[in-house]
A and B are shown apart, each in its own frame.
Chain A
Amino acid sequence: MANPVIETINVGRTYLLGKVPVDALRGVNLRVEKGDFLAVLGPSGSGKSTLLNMIGALDKPTTGRVSIDGIDLSTLNDNALADLRQKIGFVFQFFNLIPRLTAKGNVELTLSIAGLSRAERGKHATYLLETVGLKERVNHKPAELSGGERQRVAIARALANNPKFLLMDEPTGNIDSTTAEEILDLVKRLNEDKGVTIVVVTHDQRIASQARRAVQMLDGLIVREKVN
Chain B
Amino acid sequence: MKTTDVFSFAFGAIRLRKLRAGLTTLGIVIGIAAIVALLSISQGLQDSITVQLQTGFATDTLIVSTGGGLGFGLGGSIGLTDSGFVLLVNDTQIIDEIENVSMSVAIIQKACYVKSGQRDFVRSVVGVDFDKYSQIYSSTFEAESGEIPPNPENETVVIGKRVSDPWDNGTMFVSINEDINILWTNATVRPPKNETYVGSVAAILKEIGALNVGGPSDSSVYIPIAQAQKLFGTDQCDMIVVKLENDNEATIQGVSAAIKTAFSGQVSATSSTAVLNILSNVFSTIELFLAGIAAISLLVAGIGIMNIMIVSLMERTREIGILKALGMKSRTVLVIFLCEAIIIGLMGASIGVVSGWGLAHVVVRVLGGSGIGPGGQNMRASGMTISPVLTPTVFVGALVFGLIVSIVFALYPAWRASRLKPVEALRYE
A: residues with CB less than 8 A from B are: 53, 56, 58-59, 78-79, 82-88, 90, 92, 96-98, 100-101, 109-110, 112-115, 117-118, 157, 161
Contacts of A115 in B (CB 8 A): 1-2
In this complex, the member of A58, A87, A97 whose beta carbon has the largest number of chain B beta carbons within 10 angstroms is A58
Residues of B315-345 contacting chain A, CB below 8 A: 318-319, 321-332
B322 x A82 contact (CB < 8 A): no
Q: Give A153 to B326 CA distance when docked, in angstroms.
A: 14
Q: What 0/1 readout, one digit per residue, does chain B (281-318) give for beta carbons within 8 Å of chain A?
A: 00000000000000000000000000000000000001
B1 in contact with A112 (CB, 8 Å): yes
B318 & A79 in contact (Cβ 8 Å cutoff): no
Q: Which residues of A contact B327 (CB under 8 A)?
A: 82-88, 110, 113-114, 161
Measured between C-beta atoms, what is the minimum distance from B54 to chain A in Å?
A: 59
- 21 residue pairs A–B, Cβ–Cβ below 8 Å: A58-B324, A58-B325, A59-B422, A59-B423, A78-B330, A82-B327, A82-B328, A83-B329, A92-B325, A92-B426, A96-B325, A98-B319, A100-B12, A100-B13, A101-B12, A109-B326, A110-B326, A112-B2, A113-B323, A115-B1, A157-B326
Residues of A within 8 A of B321 (CB): 96
- Using an 8 Å CB-CB cutoff, how does the interface string of B1-30 with A read, 1 for contact, 0 for none? 110010001001100100000000000000
CB distance from B317 to the nearest CB of A (A): 12
B329 touches A58 (CB 8 A): no
Contact A113 B1 (CB under 8 A): yes
Cα-based distance from A35 to B158 in the complex (angstroms) = 108
Determine the chain A residues whose CB is within 8 A of the CB of B16 once the complex forms.
100
Interface size class of B (residues with CB under 8 A): 20 to 34
* 4 closest Cβ pairs, A-B complex: A86-B327, A85-B327, A112-B5, A82-B329
User: CA A186 – CA B370 in complex, angstroms?
Assistant: 80
Excluding A58-B426, A82-B324, A100-B13, 4 further A-B contacts by CB distance (< 8 Å) are A58-B325, A83-B329, A85-B327, A113-B326
B329 & A117 in contact (Cβ 8 Å cutoff): no
Nearest-CB residue, chain B, relative to A96: B322
Contacting A58 at CB < 8 Å: which of B2, B9, B13, B423? B423
Question: Taking the nearest CB of chain A, how far is it from the CB of B429, in angstroms?
Answer: 10
Known contacts A92-B426, A112-B1, A113-B1: A82-B330 contact under CB 8 Å: yes
Instruction: Give Cα distance in the complex from A98 to B423, angstroms.
Output: 17
Q: Assuming the A-B contacts A112-B1, A115-B2, are A58 and B330 also in contact, with contact meaning beta carbons closer than 8 angstroms in the complex?
A: no
Q: How far is the CA of A189 from the CA of B168 in the complex (A)?
A: 92
Q: In whole angstroms, how far apart are the Cα atoms of A115 and B322 in the complex?
A: 17
CB distance from A15 to the nearest CB of B (A): 10
| A58, B326: Cβ atoms closer than 8 Å | no
Q: Which residues does B use to contact A, with CB under 8 Å? A: 1-2, 5, 9, 12-13, 16, 318-319, 321-332, 421-423, 426
Contacts of A86 in B (CB 8 A): 326-327
Residues of B within 8 A of A88 (CB): 327
Q: Within 8 Å CB of A87, what residues of B?
A: 327
Total number of residue pairs linking A and B with CB closer than 8 Å? 70
**Nearest CB in chain B: distance from A57 CB, A:** 9
Residues of B within 8 A of A96 (CB): 318, 321-322, 325, 426
Q: How far is the CA of A164 from the CA of B421 in the complex (A)?
A: 23
Give the distance in Å from the alpha carbon of A13 to the alpha carbon of B5 in the complex.
36
How far in angstroms is the closest Cβ of chain B from A156?
A: 13
| Residue of B whose beta carbon sits closest to that of A79 | B329
CA distance A56 to B322 in the complex (A): 12
Question: Which of A59, A101, A113, A118 is in CB contact (< 8 Å) with B328?
Answer: A113
Chain B: CB-nearest residue to A117: B2
Chain A residues lying within 8 Å of B426, measured Cβ to Cβ, are: 58, 92, 96
Least distance between B416 CB and chain A CB atoms (Å): 15
Which one, A85, A97, A117, A157, contacts B324 given CB within 8 A?
A: A85
B155 CB, nearest partner CB in chain A, Å: 87
Closest to B333 in A: A82
Task: State the CA gap A96–B325 with chains docked (Å).
Answer: 10
Q: A69–B211 Cα gap in the complex (Å)?
A: 85
Tell me, in angstroms, the Cα distance from A212 to B322 when the chains sit together.
29
Contact between A98 and B322, CB atoms less than 8 A apart: yes
Instruction: Please name all residues of chain A whose beta carbon is closer than 8 Å to the beta carbon of B9 when the two chains form the complex.
Output: 109, 112
Bound together, the chains give a CA A221 to CA B232 distance in angstroms of 114
A118 to B8, CA, bound (A): 12
Query: Cα distance A161–B319 when bound, in Å?
Result: 19
List the A residue with the shortest CB-CB distance to B419.
A78
Is B323 a contact partner of A58 (Cβ separation < 8 A)?
Answer: no
State the Cβ distance, B106 to closest chain A Cβ, in Å.
81
Q: A112 to B327, alpha carbons, bound, how many Å?
A: 10
* Least Cβ–Cβ distance between B328 and chain A, in angstroms: 5
Give B329's nearest chain A residue, CB to CB.
A82
Which residues of A are found within 8 Å of B318, using beta-carbon distances? 96
Query: Which A residues lie within 8 Å of B319 (CB)?
Result: 98
Nearest-neighbour CB distance to chain B for A9, whole angstroms, equals 20
CB contacts (< 8 Å) of B421 on chain A: these are: 59
Of chain B, the residue at the smallest CB distance from A86 is B327
Which residues of A sit under 8 angstroms from B329, Cβ to Cβ? 78-79, 82-83
The distance in angstroms between the C-alpha atoms of A118 and B13, with both chains bound, is 19
Q: How far is the CA of A110 from the CA of B329 in the complex (A)?
A: 12
Interface contact A90-B325, CB-CB below 8 Å: yes
CB A55 to nearest CB in B, in angstroms, measures: 12
B394 to chain A minimum Cβ distance, whole angstroms, is 38
Residues of B within 8 Å of A109, CB to CB, are 9, 323, 326
Query: What separation, in Å, do the CA atoms of A82 and B2 have in the docked complex?
Result: 16
Report the minimum CB–CB distance from B73 to chain A (whole Å).
65
A161 to B328, CA, bound (A): 13
Which residues of chain B are within 8 angstroms of A161 by Cβ–Cβ distance?
A: 327
Interface-centre pick from A83, A98, A110, A114 (highest chain B CB count, 10 A):
A98
- Once bound together, how far apart are the Cα atoms of A109 and B200, in whole Å? 88
CA distance A79 to B319 in the complex (A): 19
Name the CB-closest residue of A to B318: A96
